[in-house]
Amino acid sequence: MASTKGQPLQFELDDDDLKLFCEEADEQIELLDTSLVQLEGEPDPELVQQIFRAAHTLKGSSATIGHKKMASLTHAMETVLDAVRQGRRTPTSEVVDALLAGLDALRVLTEEVVTRVDSGIETGRLEADLNAVLEEPEQLNSLSVAPSNAATYPVPPDALAAVRTELDNGAAAYVVELTIARECQLPSIRCFQSLQELDALGKLHLTWPARDLIEAGSGEFELAGLLTTMQSEEQITAALQAVTDIESVGARAIPADELGAEIAATAKAAPAAATAGRPQLSVVDDHGPADTGPKASAAAKNKTAQSVRIDVERLDGLMNLVGELVIDRTRLQQVREQLAAILKDANLSELMDNFEETTSHLARVTDELQEQIMRSRMLPVRSVLTRLPRLVRDVAVKCGKKVELYTAGEETELDRSVIEEISDPLVHILRNAVDHGIETPEERKAAGKPETGVVTVTAWNQETYIYISVKDDGKGIDTAALRKKVVEKGLMSREAAESATDDQVIQWIFMPGLSTAKSITDVSGRGVGMDIVRTNIERLNGQITLRSTFGQGSEVIIQLPLTLATTKALMVMANGTVYAIPLVSVTEALADHEADIHSVNGRKTLRLRQRLLPMIDLANALGDSRPRRLVDGNFVVAAKHGDRQAAFIVDRLLGEQDIVVKSLGDLVGNRKGLTGATILGDGTLGLIVDTASLVTEQAALATPA
């Protein structure tokens, strides 16, 4: 067959629908990604049902937009899942493999909808695989799944006659079924609105429940009707989906020969077993007549009843405004202090009291507002952790290892901007843990460990940081091998390598150009990994640490701020300019006269906790060429970047502050040593110091290679 790759594709959807389709498809694919892995072995009926629904929803939405390949593939997946759901097929690893392969193809097919270009992906073989899985010897494994409900709708003879007349006139008959969201406050109004939509579409002959009941406001959540119309099935479902709170819509064409005193129900909502507060997804029973055609499933669905989707940009906008407000609060407080100083002799105490009361109230409200908006941007870290089981499974299979993954702390919340940034580094660390950390089953046996290795990912909050730990019980870091490697690669002299402590050696993992794996695999190990991971984490104002015991395993801990919108910083003054040094990198701040300063090789050096830190004047390090303003008494701020440290001489310490990071603007661009500016309490600007680059530079200067 000739490849269709690169050819343009057409889908029946506009930009708004596209967004909706993508959101929905991503959500369902994500769900499948997490749950398919759990399917293997002992399927929990509820889980199977959930997976089936997800596949079904995907099938429905792809059919609605006219994506035939995707609809056909999801149909094949759905058929397999249906067999599993009914206990006709045990989800063995072949079944799961076939489904996972299908899922990977679905991602590509979903992308086609955005790009509108044929990716050339061949789904025929995948579908064949899925069908083959079905045909394997069936097993009778009684799963408790609700039997298909053979509900019927009664049709009185006079209505039947009227329908037949319409059919003779060229109209088609449809059974239309609607489900209204459980959390809907006014189901009767929605029913009534739906009736009006149906009336507008064609002739509505019958409804179940009866029309007068609906119009009297009986408040039903389910509604069905017999409609004759010239409109297509898609037009019917589209019109009804436009009604608020409609959760699912199904329309099925009724051929003339099926018309009788009773019509079989087609679409029906899942049994009311779904837990309260979690609206049901539409489940269309697949055992209807073969000519059912594509059934549109409702796009309206949400995870929790009380949630609203908000554009992140809007939240960002709000967050920025609150940032401004926080600054104004600080300014007002400063004005109050100045006023108080001026007015303390005058008899204006009552006025001052009033002013103080107002400013402190404003301060409290601003703080709360900031907190609330920050909270609204928080998402549980679950969305990242759920991708991991699949990853671990894939990597383990590729490396021929047995690995079990445990996750904990999925509820830990962090800012969505942080979540977006944390995923890649985490994936990398996890791959490393499985690929380099965990041994092969044989090696593990020989070492007296269980064959299956364990990787644990844990997330937790502490103060204003979130921590994520990835721990494995693998072989740990072989410090002797690492020492050898570093010397071989010419990254360090033999003497330096041998004199380093084991703790120091372990940190070399973050050194650029180093990989300890014996061979480069396609999973990990090109020697750029951990270096880049650390750079990425530090860009987020985070820190990464590694602990390892040879033979027993390793643990990587990532520390991140809860939000990127504000950062805690130590404010300092250097040569007349205010600088903000991110607190996460500050290890110590002390007065000049308390510091233990030495001269090493003609350089000022600070001795701090058995370490020698190169010292540099902050303003000089940043290239401030203005004449030096003299101040009495300097201070020293020690900062770290990974295992490197340096000390900066500043004029004064101004205390800690929550700062809002602002870009220096396009015209100024990126500057060495600076990451941006921030508005200070008095309305002027301070500069934010890029400690990572400065510390690296100074440490490199201090220890020439």
Nearest-approach distance from CB 668 to another protein, in angstroms: 5
Dihedral class, residue 272 (left if φ above 0, else alpha if ψ from -120 to 50, else beta): alpha
What minimum distance in Å lies between the beta carbon of 617 and another protein? Answer: 11
Supply the minimum distance, in Å, between the C-beta of residue 685 and another protein.
4
CB of 248 to another protein, least distance (A): 46
HEC assignment per residue over 349-406: HHHHHHHHHHHHHHHHHHHHHHHHHHHHCEEECHHHHCCHHHHHHHHHHHHCCCEEEE
Q: Is 298 or 687 the residue whose CB approaches another protein more closely?
A: 687
Residue reference for tokens 């489900």:
179
Pick the closer one to another protein by CB: 382 or 671. 671
Beginning with the edge strand found earlier in the chain, give each strand of the sheet holding 453-462 in spatial order. Answer: 403-408, 453-462, 465-472, 553-561, 543-549
3-state helix, strand, coil in the chain (%, to 5): 45, 25, 35
CB contact at 8 A, 467 and 558:
yes
CA 584 and chain centroid, separation: 24
Minimum CB–partner distance for residue 597 and another protein (Å) = 24
Q: Using N-to-C axis directions, what is the helix angle for 93-115 and 68-85, rounded to 10°?
A: 150
By beta-carbon proximity to another protein, the closer residue of 426 and 679 is 679
First-to-last alpha carbon distance for the chain, in angstroms, is: 60
> Which pair of tokens denotes residue 279?
């609206």
User: Which C-beta is closer to another protein: that of 215 or that of 324?
Assistant: 324
Beta-carbon contacts of 530 under 8 Å, excluding residues fewer than 6 positions away, are 428, 432, 509, 510
- Is the Cβ of residue 426 or residue 618 nearer to another protein in the bound state? 618
CB 217 within 8 Å of CB 188: yes
Provide, rounded to whole angstroms, the least separation between the CB of residue 655 and another protein.
Answer: 18
As given in the structure block, the two tokens for residue 258 are 């099926």
Query: Which SS3 state, helix, strand or coil, does residue 611 take?
Result: strand
Provide, rounded to whole angstroms, the least separation between the CB of residue 493 and another protein: 33
Whole-number Cα distances in Å, 495 to 486, 487, 492, 498: 11, 9, 8, 5
Q: Which is nearer to another protein, 569 or 687 (CB)?
A: 687
Which residue, 642 or 686, has its beta carbon nearer to another protein? 686
Binding site for another protein (CB under 8 A): 320, 323-324, 327, 577-578, 619, 622-626, 662-672, 674, 676-677, 679, 682-687
Nearer to another protein, 524 or 675 (CB): 675
Residue identified by tokens 């017999």 is 226
Minimum distance from residue 666 beta carbon to another protein (Å):
5
Burial group, residue 47, by CB count within 10 angstroms (0-12, 13-18, 19+): middle
At closest approach, how far in Å is the CB of 561 from another protein? 21
CA–CA separation, 591 vs 593, rounded Å?
6
Nearer to another protein, 175 or 326 (CB): 326
Minimum CB distance to another protein smaller for 93 or for 684? 684
8 DSSP assignment: B
